[in-house]
Structure 1
Amino acid sequence: MKFNFFKSLSIFLILLTVASFNSFSQTTSFSKAKQTKTATLKYIYLDTPGFIEKGPGGMNGLCYDIIKDFEKWVKSKYGITINGNWALARNNSFPAFMQTVKSAPDGTVGVANITITPERKREYTFSSPFINNISILVTHNSVGTLKSPSNIRNAFKNMTAVTVKGSTNEKYLRQIKSKYFPGMKIEYLTSNMDVSKKVSTDPRYFSVLDFTYYLSSLKDYRTIKRQPVMDETNEYFGFIMPKGSGWGPVFSQFLSDQYLNGGQYRSILAKHLGPNALKLLDAVQNP
């Protein structure tokens, strides 16, 4: 009798889990949402400081607040009520995140600081950019300030670059190597946080970081230094969706200049990334 009870309980729990998974995994295309006036969107995210993360009070970050503004806008513009389900990418892994979004049904949105590139646009649908990235060359603060990019070859001749393999930051370092510093040595670490720690604690290393990681590192390591002459601003972050998603144009319509230049957006930017982020973005955009 005891065996049958536990067997029945196990079957019930399995069915409950499957039912919950199926309910969570169902998403709604925009074309269907226009008919039913309701939609379920699944937001796949990567923990990204300042951008999106789950804390004791729930989801938080710049991207989360933008998504909430988007949901309110969709309700006002199209009369569609959005029910959002949030899920951390498997193992908080970038490759797993990208693969999950790529193979997901319409109504899935990838949320993180994802760089929009021509290569990725061939395989995914992106929203319009919600922020421009600044790639920042960083060193220990005991290293002198570069006066021009052409000086890097001599000024950093006894130093080694460190980065994450396959990242856009590695790509920028290789561009610097090709153009200004043919003898540059490059070593690899597993994460940007490891990179920022290495540079902040050892004057023999330098790197390139996205401005969000630079600002985060500035809080943790006062010894990290920006080399402004090497700032690169030709990258943009957007929300990423499966190729052909009908929600892509809707996100792009929402992320208009009117929204991105408005007080609401700037207030959440300062809230999550800090006033230094606003100053940095304004300085680069309006030199």
Structure 2
Amino acid sequence: MRTLMCILLSAMSLSLLAQSYSGDTWKDVSKKGEGSVSIAYVETPSFVYLDDAGKLTGICVDIMNDFVTWLKDAKKVELTTNFVGDGSSFRGMYDKVKTSKGGVFGLGNITITNERKKEVKFSQPFITNFAILITQSQVPTLNKLEDMPKSFADLTAYTAKGTLNEKRVMELKKQYFPEMKVAYTTTSQETLEKLFADPKGYAYLDLAFYLEAVKMKKNIKRHPVADRAAEQFGFIMPLSSDWSQVLDEFLKANGGYSNSTRYKTILVKHLGEAGMKLMQSSN
């Protein structure tokens, strides 16, 4: 029995290791002057996405590329980045980074929370998240959250399990709409697709998803009374990572990366002028 238990525990440990990533530590890279890191990601409009040529791009990708360039110039270090995973799931990306070792980073719409700080290391924030409540455009505009039980009586809330937007939906349910119908999805992208397909659906989604839908000329509406702009996005690393100090040094250098012309150029490139203004209005 004891032997069987040991075998099972070993199998579980191997399974856990197989689900994580690895990369060189900053200590080793700074000594050798070169090394490689793994970058996990969740596909998010504007932040991490495939361009028309099938190449991974976005706000997060551009910032990480600038970090690599800065390391070369400021630290005389040649860093190779390897993108890992398929980008399909926030929870999948987050959990794998959490169990990884060494130079591993997670990119996407990752909100910094005290709860998550117990599980992963966060970089300095690089943008403030703007979450909005969306429906199809024929749904009457919600003027007060207290009106939800009446105005949204026949509607269904869609939300991705394990995201902060799920928490937002649950807060609305608890505070304003106890009878709210909730349907779960696996990703924010799936939530958006459900919204496109269901005239009686609504969802909390990050601004980038809304801007993507507007760009696609989809039949959607924003309900400003429910806007939320209290959280910030950051890059994540395993708790044992020694990369956070040098990444933060980069983000703080020369008066702060988010104050630079380069940063504003990246926001306009991936969000457009209107999206950049909305994002910056939430700071």
Give the superposition deviation at 1:201. 4.4
Q: Quote the Cα distance in structure 1 between the aligned partners of 2:90 and 2:190.
A: 16
Partner of 1:61: 58
Cα distance per residue 1:36-63 (max 9 Å; x no partner) = 2223222122333322234536332111
Q: Quote the Cα distance in structure 2 between the aligned partners of 1:101 and 1:109.
A: 7
What's the C-alpha RMSD, in Å, of the aligned pairs?
A: 2.2
Q: Secondary structure at the match of 1:40?
A: strand
Does 1:242 find its partner at 2:238?
A: yes
**AA at the equivalent of 2:281:** A
Does 1:230 find its partner at 2:229?
A: no
Cα distance per residue 1:78-99 (max 9 Å; x no partner) = 2222122222x15733343223
Greater Cα shift, 243-252 or 141-150: 141-150
Q: Which of residues 268, 272, 275 in structure 2 aligns to 1:274?
A: 272
Superposition pairs of residues 181-200 of structure 1, within 5 angstroms: 181-200=177-196
Q: Secondary structure at the match of 1:85?
A: strand
Q: Secondary structure at the match of 1:92?
A: coil
Q: Which runs of 5+ in 1 are unaligned?
A: 1-24
Give the superposition deviation at 1:26. 6.6
Q: Give the 3 Å change call, closer, same or farther, for CA 261–151 of structure 1 in structure 2.
A: farther
Does 1:46 find its partner at 2:16?
A: no
Partner of 1:6: none
Give the superposition deviation at 1:76. 2.5
Q: Which of residues 102, 112, 115 in structure 1 aligns to 2:111?
A: 115
Q: Quote the Cα distance in structure 1 between the aligned partners of 2:102 and 2:245.
A: 13
Greater Cα shift, 68-77 or 129-138: 68-77
Partner of 1:283: 281
Give the superposition deviation at 1:142. 1.4
Q: Quote the Cα distance in structure 2 between the aligned partners of 1:43 and 1:161.
A: 32
TM-score, normalization by structure 2? 0.83
**AA at the equivalent of 1:35:** K
Q: Quote the Cα distance in structure 1 between the aligned partners of 2:175 and 2:89.
A: 32
Q: Give the 3 Å change call, closer, same or farther, for CA 49–81 of structure 1 in structure 2.
A: same
Greater Cα shift, 56-65 or 123-132: 56-65
Partner of 2:215: 219
Q: Secondary structure at the match of 2:229?
A: strand
Q: Give the 3 Å change call, closer, same or farther, for CA 267–249 of structure 1 in structure 2.
A: same
Cα distance per residue 1:252-286 (max 9 Å; x no partner) = 2222362102211011111112222112113333x
Q: Secondary structure at the match of 1:113?
A: coil
State, as a whole percentage, how many aligned pairs show the same letter. 37
**Segments of 4+ moved more than 4 angstroms:** none
Partner of 1:262: 260
Partner of 1:36: 32
Partner of 1:85: 82
Q: Is the contact made by 1:200 and 1:221 (CA closer than 8 Å) also made in structure 2?
A: no
Q: Secondary structure at the match of 1:275?
A: helix
Q: Secondary structure at the match of 2:102?
A: coil
**AA at the equivalent of 1:140:** Q
Q: Give the 3 Å change call, closer, same or farther, for CA 72–202 of structure 1 in structure 2.
A: same
Q: Quote the Cα distance in structure 2 between the aligned partners of 1:128 and 1:94.
A: 20
Partner of 1:73: 70
Greater Cα shift, 230-239 or 49-58: 49-58
**AA at the equivalent of 1:270:** V
Q: Is the contact made by 1:42 and 1:109 (CA closer than 8 Å) also made in structure 2?
A: yes
Greater Cα shift, 179-188 or 134-143: 179-188
Q: Secondary structure at the match of 1:234?
A: coil
Q: Quote the Cα distance in structure 2 between the aligned partners of 1:143 and 1:121.
A: 38
TM-score, normalization by structure 1? 0.82
Give the superposition deviation at 1:105. 2.1
Greater Cα shift, 42-51 or 210-219: 42-51
Q: Is the contact made by 2:89 and 2:186 (CA closer than 8 Å) also made in structure 1?
A: no
